[in-house]
Copies of this chain bind each other. A is one copy, B any other.
Amino acid sequence: MPEVPPPAPTGDELLRVLSALGNPHRMRIVAALLESRNYVSALAREIGMSRPLLHMHLQRLEAAGLVVGTLELAEDGKAMKYFDVTPFFYELTPGVIARAAATLTEAEKTEAEKEEAK
């Protein structure tokens, strides 16, 4: 098994993932898409959510790399954007969090940076 994924996500990456998954609607979206890929309008109807709102949530999930959308042409010529769940895997432990926090770019932070800057 050559697959030895180094569990060392960037602070920013992990932050995107966690804040993306830390939302009930988005958790449900992932669950629904895992059961069966779907396109935006149908998914919106399925989980009872307005389309613009779902669009926003999907954007957030895709930005975090948890979901991918592909624009496909149906037989009848309609353009439909199908979304699939990516096989992501993250481990959440104090160590992982600490290592990630150390690489947070998160704009001008306090003492640490200023001290270093001297």
Chain A residues within CB distance 8 Å of chain B: 11, 14-15, 17-24, 27-28, 30-31, 34-35, 46-49, 66, 85-95, 97-98, 100-102, 104, 106, 109-111
Contact = CB atoms under 8 A, between A and B. Distances in A.
Contacts of A31: 97-98, 101-102
Q: How many copies of this chain does the complex contain?
A: 2
Given A91-B91, A92-B89, A97 B21 contact: yes
Given A15-B23, A30-B94, A90-B92, 13 more contacts: A15-B22, A18-B22, A19-B19, A19-B23, A21-B22, A22-B22, A24-B106, A27-B97, A30-B97, A31-B101, A34-B97, A47-B111, A91-B91
A20 B109 CA distance: 20
A31 B103 CA distance: 11
15 contacts: A18-B18, A18-B19, A19-B23, A22-B22, A24-B104, A27-B97, A27-B104, A31-B98, A34-B94, A34-B95, A48-B110, A88-B93, A89-B91, A90-B92, A91-B92
